[in-house]
Amino acid sequence: MEPFSDHFMEFHPIHGANVRLDYSGTQATRVESFANGVCFSKHPLNPGEIFLIEIEDKELGWCGHLRIGLTSQDPRNLEVVPEYSIPDLTDQGDSWVFAITRNHNKITEVQEEAAEEGVGEGHRLGRGEPEEVQENSKPKSFFTDSHLFVENVRIPKDKLVGRSRPGRFSHILDDLYKTNALPPTARRSRIGVLYVPKGQDLADMHIIINGEDMGASAKGIPTIQPLYAVVDVFAATKCVRIVQVEYGFSSLQTLCRKAIQKNIVHRMAIDWLELPEALKHYCNVVLLDVASLMMRQHPQAAGDNYCRRRGVRKSAEDERALRRNDSIYVCSQCNHPLFSSRSKFSHSSPWPAFTETIREDSVTKHMESLTAFKVLCGKCGNGLGHEFVNDGPQEGVSRF
């Protein structure tokens, strides 16, 4: 069975008091304390549909980590979002939450038997030692290589395992990610939850950590009511981001990227290949920016969520631009001036491209890799995409 996802995954606007969502609704950050970080999926999950998140940031000094699971409680009907997913939410009933630890997340046969007897119902079940698991018995084929099988559910592996940031040791770190050698609680670890139908109106909950099924962490979950994903950004886990999973056959662009990466020892060497710039960026970018993904889904609105053109401005600071009959591109959220049409140039990407900002304080930048900076509005912090170093129309010029 292959799930069909008909909606863009987002966090529910109802969440814990210490949670802040980004403009896209796909990133959740706990801004203070160690609790009140409970979040929900915006929509109920379909059978076999995975709600996948990546740990983006951690906060030292706290004991405990991310918690994830399912609930049949509609977030809109909660009088108040519980401070903790365990035990507050699970004690209310109809919620099954699993606490992720640095080790021992796999469910053993003894624990599964205890779960069937009702021991620890609605709580985390996995605290046993890792066991030797028999390899997938399905015959080797194209799909067993590219998909993870959970019972009769087939999930593409492409997004289940995180990748290191581009750099000198990327090719070594990527092998560690693929072999699940890095701790589940580490930054860039990807953790997901889904449920698999088991009989009439019942299902088993499975936790996926870096592409590996941890087993049925809760059995016999009633599916009469819709099931929402629960993500508790707890203690040492500070920020998580939703990873969108594409079901069905991989796109031609994805297949090309896989073929190129398979034969490139050092990921930064992709920059030296004679390939279209758009394909090189697609191969190099570790985290496909949510904004870019949304613009690919709605190319007719490319750039509208980030900056928009405004040809008439009356402020003295833009008087010179008006004399030159320039257009000013401003932030779509706060009208802060960002770019001038004089710095705009044609590029293969579907969104506007500029060589420089209109002023030094137009944007703020955070380094993501040796060749890319995350760009935010200098006034309101609205996400604007990236600055790609040495990717402008002339050598040594950046592309925004």
pTM above 0.85, yes or no: no
pLDDT value, residue 111: 53
Local structure of 396: helix, strand or coil: coil
Return d(Cα 246, Cα 248) in angstroms, integer.
Answer: 7
pLDDT value, residue 183: 83
Question: Residue 74 has which token pair?
Answer: 């509609």
Do residues 348 and 357 lie in contact, with contact meaning Cβ atoms separated by under 8 Å?
A: no
pLDDT value, residue 94: 94
Do residues 321 and 313 lie in contact, with contact meaning Cβ atoms separated by under 8 Å?
A: yes
3-state SS of the chain: helix, strand, coil percent to 5?
20, 30, 50
For residue range 107-145, what is the model confidence (pLDDT) as tens digits?
765 455 554 554 334 434 443 333 343 444 444 444 446
Q: Between these two residues, 282 and 110, which has the higher pLDDT value?
A: 282
Q: What string of DSSP letters covers 9-26? A: --B-S---TTEEE-TTS-
> For the range 376-382, what are the long-range contacts, defined as Cβ-Cβ under 8 Å and sequence gap of 24 or more?
377/331, 377/333, 377/334, 377/336, 377/338, 378/336, 379/331, 379/334, 379/336, 380/331, 380/333, 380/334, 380/336, 382/23, 382/306, 382/331, 382/332, 382/333, 382/334
Question: SS3 for 328-359, per residue?
Answer: EEEECCCCCEEEEHHHEECCCCCCCEECCCCC
Per-residue pLDDT band at 300 (split at 50, 70, 90): very low
For residue 201, pLDDT beyond 80? yes
Of all residues in the chain, the percent with pLDDT exceeding 90 is 34
Do residues 188 and 392 lie in contact, with contact meaning Cβ atoms separated by under 8 Å?
A: no
For residue 301, pLDDT beyond 70? no
Least reliable range by pLDDT among 9-13, 208-212, 222-226, 292-296? 292-296
For residue range 379-389, what is the model confidence (pLDDT) as tens digits?
877 888 888 88
Return d(Cα 105, Cα 124) in angstroms, integer.
Answer: 10
pLDDT value, residue 395: 77
For residue 81, pLDDT beyond 70? yes
For residue 89, pLDDT beyond 70? yes
Q: How many residues does the chain have?
A: 400
For residue 264, pLDDT beyond 60? no
Per-residue pLDDT band at 312 (split at 50, 70, 90): very low
Q: What is the mean pLDDT of residues 17-34?
A: 92
Instruction: State the angle between helix axes of 252-262 and 277-284 in degrees (0 to 180), rounded to the nearest 10.
Output: 70
For residue range 209-228, what is the model confidence (pLDDT) as tens digits?
988 999 999 999 999 999 99
Question: Residue 200 has which token pair?
Answer: 């009439």
pLDDT value, residue 80: 95
